[in-house]
């Protein structure tokens, strides 16, 4: 009897949303009806979302891709020789040779879509736990120094050096320290955290265990928003399997050192993506921003020293330890080292995840990877860095994508989320949405954010309604200045970014001549 042919069907939320379960069921039923022997592997997503459901078949030449596959395509695919990589209108060739994938520099996402996310054997076969084993041979200070030397900066948006944060917690004296992973991925157009948790969860677990070894923490929490039920389920199962296998628990890998991990579900408040609001929520309180100081690295969760990083920051750590800090640092430009998983979304022809070293341009992402808009119309504006990021016009698309270059242009890279709008977008309406979003999601603790955003909506409505437009533009700028400099956290402090960039770059959408909008 010949061996079963391995067929890969993603189990990622994006694939499930377009019918991956139904495709898997159809493949299983049709193969059985024809007497064909197949083994269906539910892998993570490759991040080529316009091709989901992306079905792959293992052949002697490598994995061959087909997509987007619907359940009704299954009979014709089998007729065409799917199980041997046969030709079909949905045939995409060898997966690794698809240009969108072949041009990437996948470090953190190198296993994404390749493995069964919950298979410990798959993970270990592709360098899994190598970073942890290396860390177990080092003392905390040496681990921290390696992270410092790698140049890794927090991938959650603030870009604070990860090693500095760890060094502060290592130096703090306390009977208990914690590791907290901020997986409250609430930015529009962002999904890299979700992909890690659903598609390569052991990588996040390994990064958090290494952080615990580095600073002397024995307990960790992964804070995941309730809108990610699949990620929560996968992480819980991965933690259970890693614990049973000895990678978590009271005796990590037989070292005599302890690290336990739990998932905590957030209720979906955007402001809980801010680290101190997340700590409040983890402690069972309402998610409200804390004033700083003290820093969470000194007084964090339950008043104890706490390392807080986001998913992508922890996910980068195992590779730093397994291949050395110089390997990671050799990617990138300037002070932006390593890679960033950019997430293409909105009105884009080829939406998906692109992991590249810092330094490429937005134009390369939009055109070379994204293929332009899905509507076929010209791109008008691109919002980079989530709902609090600036809108960039075409004149800024050739800036290198690194933290300093974007800061100099009044923009942010944030979490790498990129949302594309074509030339039908009304930028005054989008500016109003930014203020309204802040008004709805504000925790209410500080006045500039709570009241400023509500007044901002009213002022933009008066501008759009041509009621004393010139005076209202001046008032809007004053209001944004107050929010920027008077808010407790980035929620109020960064809401002016999309508002002012829309006003400055697209004054005609506010009913203004260019010279009027350019006034400071």
> Could you report the per-residue pLDDT of 37-80, keeping only the tens digit for each?
999 999 999 999 999 999 999 999 999 999 999 999 999 999 99
312 by Cβ neighbours in 10 Å (0-12 / 13-18 / 19+) ranks as buried
pLDDT, tens digit (0-9, with 9 covering 90-100), for 209-265 = 999 999 999 999 999 999 999 999 999 999 999 999 999 999 999 999 999 999 999
CA atoms of 55 and 69, how far apart (whole Å): 7
Longest dimension (CA), the chain: 82
pLDDT of residue 53: 98
pLDDT of residue 157: 75
Give the number of other Cβ atoms within 10 Å of residue 152's Cβ: 25
pTM, full prediction: 0.96
Of 221, 141, 145, which Cα lies nearest the Cα of 176? 221
Is-contact 347 374, C-beta < 8 A? yes
pLDDT, tens digit (0-9, with 9 covering 90-100), for 299-322 = 999 999 999 999 999 999 999 999
The CA radius of gyration of the chain, in Å to the nearest whole number, is 24
Is-contact 384 414, C-beta < 8 A? yes
CA atoms of 195 and 210, how far apart (whole Å): 21
Is-contact 411 361, C-beta < 8 A? no
pLDDT of residue 520: 47
Residues sharing a CB contact under 8 Å with residue 391, sequence separation 6 or more, in sequence order: 381, 382, 383, 427, 430, 498, 501, 502, 505, 506
Average pLDDT, the chain: 96
pLDDT of residue 515: 65
Of 164, 180, 176, which Cα lies nearest the Cα of 278? 180
pLDDT of residue 1: 55
Angle between helices 192-199 and 229-244 (to 10 degrees): 40
Q: Which two tokens stand for residue 156?
A: 């959650």
Spans in the chain with pLDDT lower than 70:
1, 515-520
């Amino acid at each position: 009897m010949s061996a079963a042919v391995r067929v890969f069907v993603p189990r990622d939320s994006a694939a499930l949303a377009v019918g991956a379960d139904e495709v898997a069921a159809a493949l299983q039923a049709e193969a059985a009806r024809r007497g064909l022997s197949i083994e269906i592997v539910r892998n993570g997503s490759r991040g080529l979302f316009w091709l989901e459901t992306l079905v792959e078949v293992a052949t002697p030449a490598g994995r061959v891709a087909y997509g987007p596959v619907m359940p009704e395509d299954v009979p014709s695919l089998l007729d065409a020789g799917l199980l041997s990589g046969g030709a079909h209108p949905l045939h995409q060739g060898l997966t690794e040779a698809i240009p969108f994938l072949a041009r990437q520099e996948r470090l953190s996402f190198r296993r994404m879509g390749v493995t069964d996310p919950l298979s410990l054997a798959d993970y270990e076969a592709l360098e899994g736990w190598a970073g942890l084993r290396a860390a177990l041979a080092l003392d905390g200070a040496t681990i921290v120094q390696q992270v410092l030397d790698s140049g890794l900066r927090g991938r959650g948006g603030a870009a604070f050096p990860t090693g500095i944060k760890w060094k502060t917690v290592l130096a703090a004296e306390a009977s208990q320290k914690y590791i907290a992973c901020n997986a409250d991925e609430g930015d529009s157009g962002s999904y890299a955290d979700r992909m890690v948790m659903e598609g390569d969860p052991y990588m996040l677990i390994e990064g958090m265990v290494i952080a615990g070894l580095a600073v002397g923490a024995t307990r960790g929490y992964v804070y995941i928003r309730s809108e990610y039920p699949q990620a929560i389920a996968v992480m819980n199962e991965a933690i259970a399997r890693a614990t049973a296998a000895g990678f978590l628990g009271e005796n990590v890998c037989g070292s005599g050192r302890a690290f336990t991990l739990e998932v905590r579900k957030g209720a979906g408040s955007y402001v809980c993506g801010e680290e101190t609001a997340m700590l409040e929520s983890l402690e069972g309180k309402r998610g409200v921003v804390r004033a700083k100081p003290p820093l969470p690295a000194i007084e964090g969760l339950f008043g104890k020293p706490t390392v807080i990083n986001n998913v992508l920051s922890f996910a980068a750590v195992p590779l730093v330890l397994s291949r050395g800090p110089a390997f990671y640092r050799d990617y990138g430009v300037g002070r932006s080292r390593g890679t960033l998983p950019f997430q293409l979304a909105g009105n884009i022809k080829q939406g998906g995840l692109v992991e590249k070293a810092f330094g490429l341009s937005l134009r390369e992402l939009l055109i070379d990877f994204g293929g332009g808009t899905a509507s076929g119309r010209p791109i008008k504006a691109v919002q980079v860095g989530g709902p609090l990021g600036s809108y960039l016009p075409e004149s800024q698309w050739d800036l290198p994508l690194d933290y300093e270059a974007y800061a100099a242009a009044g923009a942010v890279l944030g979490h790498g989320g990129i949302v594309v709008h074509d030339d039908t977008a009304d930028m005054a309406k989008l500016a109003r949405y930014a203020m309204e979003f802040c008004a709805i999601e504000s925790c209410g603790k500080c006045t500039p954010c709570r009241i400023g955003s509500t007044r901002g909506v009213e002022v933009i409505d008066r501008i759009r309604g041509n009621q004393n437009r010139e005076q209202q533009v001046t008032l809007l700028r004053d209001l944004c200045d107050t929010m920027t400099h008077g808010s407790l956290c980035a929620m109020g402090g960064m809401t002016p970014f999309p508002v002012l960039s829309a006003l400055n770059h697209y004054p005609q959408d506010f009913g203004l001549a260019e010279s009027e909008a350019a006034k400071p």
